[in-house]
């Protein structure tokens, strides 16, 4: 999949006539290429536009400008049929499993809904397939006829995973799939997702606000701030050689449980804060907007003011 210069702007209306007076630049010029079988992390603070990217890719938000190309076909803002190939191949696990899984439906109906849209299976075949899917995410068979509200958050999120993989999709957009879960359950759900990837060779676009959570999942990472990418690179680039001050701040915010390095960690955090205060113009233009990405190495791109770098050389 290729995402080219994607923009999603929401109008702000105000006044007596309810006219459009301004826009929220939720996503403002994003480029991303997604290859088969790889995992991409999309990381940034709350409100930076992560969910909006996911939703606009699957057609739930209207794209203001730019393009989404899937296997050579332009799928931008197409009024897509529920049963189209694209809808089958690109699935999303939603951020909030409580409201995205219909509480009045039984698990068998929730998981089989995408199957009903895309495959003509008999009721017996459907039941068999749903049971296989429940097994993949380690849920007991008797979950079949229970309602979504009868499960814990972790179990519901696993039901969401089972639903997303039901149609054998090629890309799953996972919007904070584990953020509401406690640490041990997080690891469990992440392991299921990894296993599913190994088995079916799906790609993931993994959305999170926490660089710690996505560390072991992602091949490549995009760090997002106010609708723009501030840095893009592979796991090594981002975790061992971060260049943008915003990435450094996110990294220093990962809590540490290692008592020996705690002091060192704190010193690092203070150093990052200082660098942030000293070098605003290197990282943000006078309007507080992030610069365009420029390449650093073949895998690593960072959004810095090219002029400020030259001056300081």
Positions in the binding site for ligand ATP (CB under 6 A): 10, 24, 26, 44, 46-52, 95, 209
Residue closer to Mg ion (CB basis): 204 or 283: 204
Asked whether 284 and 308 are in contact (CB, 8 A), the reply is: no
Q: What is the DSSP string of 240-304?
A: HS--SHHHHHHHHTS----STTHHHHHHHHHHHHHHHHH-HHHHB-TTSPBPPPEESSSS-EE--
Query: How many other C-beta atoms are found inside a 10 Å radius of the C-beta of residue 192?
Result: 18
Residue 209 contact among Mg ion, ligand ATP, none, beta carbon within 5 to 8 Å by kind: ligand ATP
Q: How far is the CB of 96 from Mg ion (least distance, A)?
A: 9
- Give, for 82, the enclosing helix (H) or strand (E): none
* List of residues 6+ apart from 150 with CB closer than 8 A: none
Residue 25 contact among Mg ion, ligand ATP, none, beta carbon within 5 to 8 Å by kind: none
Q: Which of residues 90-149 bind Mg ion (CB under 5 A)?
A: none
Residue closer to ligand ATP (CB basis): 95 or 186: 95
Q: How many CA atoms lie within 13 A of 176 on its CB side?
A: 22
Binding mask 46-85 for Mg ion (x = CB under 5 A): -----x----------------------------------
Residue closer to Mg ion (CB basis): 50 or 248: 50
Residue 48 contact among Mg ion, ligand ATP, none, beta carbon within 5 to 8 Å by kind: ligand ATP
Where would I find the H helices in 90-182?
97-100, 107-118, 123-136, 153-165
Number of residues forming the site for Mg ion (CB under 5 A): 1
Residue 46 contact among ligand ATP, Mg ion, none, beta carbon within 5 to 8 Å by kind: ligand ATP
Site for Mg ion contains 208 (CB under 5 A)? no
- How much helix, strand and coil, in percent to the nearest 5, is found in the chain? 40, 25, 35
Residue with tokens 């749903």: 130
Residue closer to ligand ATP (CB basis): 12 or 306: 12
Q: How far is the CB of 168 from ligand ATP (least distance, A)?
A: 27
């Amino acid at each position: 999949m290729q995402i080219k210069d994607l923009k999603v702007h929401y109008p702000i209306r105000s006044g007596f006539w309810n006219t459009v007076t301004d826009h929220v630049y939720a996503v403002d010029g994003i480029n991303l290429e997604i290859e088969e079988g790889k995992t991409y992390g999309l990381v940034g603070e709350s409100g930076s536009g992560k969910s909006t990217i996911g939703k606009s890719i699957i057609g739930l938000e209207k794209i203001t400008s730019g393009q989404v190309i899937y296997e050579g076909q332009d799928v931008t803002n197409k009024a897509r049929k529920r049963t189209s190939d694209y809808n089958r191949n690109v699935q999303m696990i939603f951020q909030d499993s409580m409201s995205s899984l219909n509480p009045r439906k039984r698990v068998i109906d929730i998981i089989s809904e995408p199957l009903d849209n895309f495959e003509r299976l008999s009721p017996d075949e459907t039941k068999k397939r749903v049971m296989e899917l429940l097994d993949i995410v380690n849920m007991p068979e008797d979950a079949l006829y229970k309602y979504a509200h009868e499960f814990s958050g972790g179990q519901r999120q696993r039901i969401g995973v089972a639903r997303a993989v039901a149609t054998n999709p090629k890309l799953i957009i996972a919007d904070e799939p584990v953020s509401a879960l406690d640490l041990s359950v997080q690891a469990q759900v992440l392991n299921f997702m990894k296993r599913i990837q190994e088995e079916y060779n799906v790609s993931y676009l993994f959305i999170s606000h926490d660089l710690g959570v996505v560390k072991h999942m992602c091949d490549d990472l995009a760090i997002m701030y106010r609708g723009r990418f501030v840095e893009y690179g592979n796991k090594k680039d981002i975790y061992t050689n971060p260049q943008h001050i915003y990435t450094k701040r996110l990294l220093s915010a990962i809590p540490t449980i290692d008592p020996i390095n705690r002091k060192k960690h704190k010193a690092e955090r203070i150093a990052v804060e200082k660098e942030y205060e000293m070098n605003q113009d290197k990282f943000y233009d006078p309007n507080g907007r992030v610069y365009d990405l420029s390449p650093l190495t073949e895998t690593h791109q960072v959004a810095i003011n090219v002029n400020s770098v030259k001056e300081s050389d």
